[in-house]
Amino acid sequence: MLAASKRKFSGFLDRIAAGAKLDAKRLLKTYAYVLMAIPLAFFLLIAVQNAALKRSFSQMLTKSPVSAVGVIIAIVDFILGYYLLLSIDKVMKNRLTYRFFMWTQLISQLLVGNLFCAFFAGLGIHQGKQLEDDGKIPNRTIEAVAIVCSLLLIVCFTLILVISL
């Protein structure tokens, strides 16, 4: 029964990727753009909200600590998306590096509640099976960047929990 469910879900992801014409490289590039676009939309939303409430950005940060943590998350996502666009070929060279990067993204994006990016990361993990396993050593720089960004997002998750309590 579990194997049948796994095949159905895998088929569902295959249909999504085929319908959107997303192979592993195109998905990674789209994911990088999403990582850069979501923070820009978030900052636009904050700017509109601050203009409507006639308050400054610093006033918003002091009155809403959760929004301040959201700003940190947005900055980390934007930097990661920009770095990913610059080094997309390095990520694509090795299947282990690609899948490690996507797994760290899936976990950290789920923790901070960025479900759109988490969906793309999950789809990326699934599409990683397309890449050849060249047996080379994974790219340590990409792995280090993924770990540092994930740790920053985990710290933000912890801050959100502390603020909520």
Query: Mind listing the pLDDT tens digit for each residue in 72-84?
Result: 899 999 999 999 9
pLDDT digits (tens, 9 = 90+) for 44-76: 988 888 888 888 878 887 888 888 888 889 999
Q: Which among 35, 36, 55 has a CA at the least distance from the CA of 46? A: 55
Q: What is the pTM of this model?
A: 0.81
What is the total residue count of the chain?
Answer: 165
Q: Is 132 helix (H, G, I), strand (E, B) or coil?
A: coil
Q: Enumerate residues 6+ apart whose C-beta is below 8 A from 142.
A: 87, 90, 91, 97, 100, 101
C-alpha distances (whole Å) from 111 to each of 17, 22, 55, 91, 152 are 24, 25, 30, 23, 11
